[in-house]
Chain A
Amino acid sequence: MSRQQKIELMAPAGSYEALMAAIHAGCDSVYFGVEQFNMRARATMNFTLEDLEKVGAICKENKVRSYLTLNTIVYDHDLSAIKTVLDKAKASGITAVIASDQAVIAYARSIQLEVHISTQVNITNIETVKFYALFSDTMVLSRELSLIQVKKICDQIEKEKICGPSGKLIEIEIFVHGALCMAVSGKCYLSLHTANASANRGACVQNCRRSYTVIDNEDGHELAIDNEYIMSAQDLCTIDFLDQVIESGVKVMKIEGRGKGADYVKTTVECYREAIDAYYTNSYTKGKVADWTERLKRVYNRGFWSGYYLGQELGEWNDAAGSKATTRKIYLGKGSNYFDKIQVAEFKLESYELSVGDSVLITGPTTGAIETTIAELHTSAGAVQTAKKGDNCAFKLETPIRSSDKLYKIVSNN
């Protein structure tokens, strides 16, 4: 019955660039944080309170649901500001708030703002689902469950007809792609202990992503741990078993990455959009999975594993620091003009050079993220093979660009 309803694809939006990239790539919904009240408080890209109205309007115009992430732990001194944020979210037409603290849940309910329960709550069983059903229609499960456990919870919701405040059956949401935490989601105090920076206030310094040495306290010998970043989990990727994810009965699949750029959002949303659509048209094939996986590898990633969903034992740790993306982007310059009639975009090259045949990425707060390959290139000298730093160069592009857009060259990391 309700399992026939197409699964919702939720994208991260840490900036206007990422928001537009997510919308253009075909997401059904986006989630984002404002100010310091979310798990990416340290990220420089958070929206401000003043952005809420615009974000709400953009989402409404594009028929995309919008979720405000407000899931840090909350102190007394936060209460007043949090009410201000929630009031503003309600007034801006934001679809729902993703919350973990009871103060946030209670206030949102009191102003009739829909509540989703955050993964920070770590819902791992059906009784907890029943408890939160008093307040919420959608719940994000803990990322550490296996798909069998996820399916059992989804089945039980239908069997026992567990409904939320709207009177509809509870919808279960899970993460399908992106960074994983070495601790049970959010229950990590490493950053707090070493840097006073609480992960639960969005200030994680990501100590787990570093390499470590074990010291024998008796004789002082130092042992490097098998060349592995022992606490740095690889990134979650479910594209190769997305059919099983959908068949588990979850209603929303969510991509991690509010701290990541528009190119990451564009690629991940496009791949998962295609995979979901392929599933519903019976064309989800191994060949396509291989293609999606290659594309996903091109943007930021720490190597992929299937998370805890398929029940593997722990131990999928990284063997390198930072991203393993097969490509990287080099900043070239800013947009200067777009000629509508002839569909030509002009950019001012501020660094490096651009040649015919190069792959480029254009990002901007209205443009989102566009990728293309340069077929022909013009400068003031006419048609050229290569445009140099300082040149104004122009090339064919079907989509308009703006002066706020940035041009990058995509190059291989190998």
Chain B
Amino acid sequence: MITIIQQRAKCIGCNYCVELAPQRWRMSRKDGKSVLLESKDKKGFWSVKVREDELDSNLKAAKACPVNIIQILE
């Protein structure tokens, strides 16, 4: 299992994560920021544990994020 963490408040809604890992990310119509699917919020840090097969796409998303708010823990 890997853990994906998003510091959501700092998201600028660029859509890169949704483009690169569409199975794990969606844009919120409510506030225009990305949503880490199935994640839980802990003091602004949203995290979710997922299977290894999602690693590559989410590493790409983390690398592309312009504000560096996506972290992957292997």
Which residues of A are in contact with B by a Cβ distance under 8 Å?
35-37, 41-42, 49, 75, 77-78, 80-82, 84, 195-198, 201-203, 205
In contact, A77 and B29 (Cβ under 8 angstroms)? yes
1/0 contact string of B1-21 vs chain A (CB within 8 Å): 000000000011111101000
| B55 close to chain A: CB less than 8 A | no
Of B14, B28, B29, B31, the contact of A198 (CB 8 Å cutoff): B14
Of A49, A82, A201, A205, the contact of B12 (CB 8 Å cutoff): A201
In contact, A78 and B13 (Cβ under 8 angstroms)? yes
In contact, B32 and A35 (Cβ under 8 angstroms)? yes
In contact, A81 and B29 (Cβ under 8 angstroms)? yes
In contact, A197 and B66 (Cβ under 8 angstroms)? yes
In contact, B30 and A77 (Cβ under 8 angstroms)? no
Other than A36-B12, A81-B31, A203-B66, give 8 A-B pairs with Cβ distance below 8 A: A36-B33, A81-B13, A81-B29, A81-B32, A82-B32, A196-B64, A201-B14, A203-B67
Of all chain B residues, which has the CB nearest A75?
Answer: B15
Contacts of A37 in B (CB 8 A): 32
Task: Count how many pairs of residues, one from A and one from B, have CB atoms less than 8 Å apart in the complex.
Answer: 55
Can you sample 5 A-B contacts with CB below 8 Å?
A36-B32, A78-B13, A81-B29, A198-B66, A201-B12
Distance of B3 from chain A, by nearest CB (Å): 23
In contact, B29 and A80 (Cβ under 8 angstroms)? yes
Assuming the A-B contacts A41-B12, A42-B12, A78-B13, are A196 and B66 also in contact, with contact meaning beta carbons closer than 8 angstroms in the complex?
A: yes
Of all chain B residues, which has the CB nearest A41?
Answer: B12
Contacts of A201 in B (CB 8 A): 12-14, 66
Which 5 pairs across A and B sit closest by C-beta, in order of nearness? Answer: A197-B66, A81-B32, A77-B27, A80-B29, A36-B12
Contacts of B32 in A (CB 8 A): 35-37, 77-78, 80-82
Contacts of B15 in A (CB 8 A): 75, 77
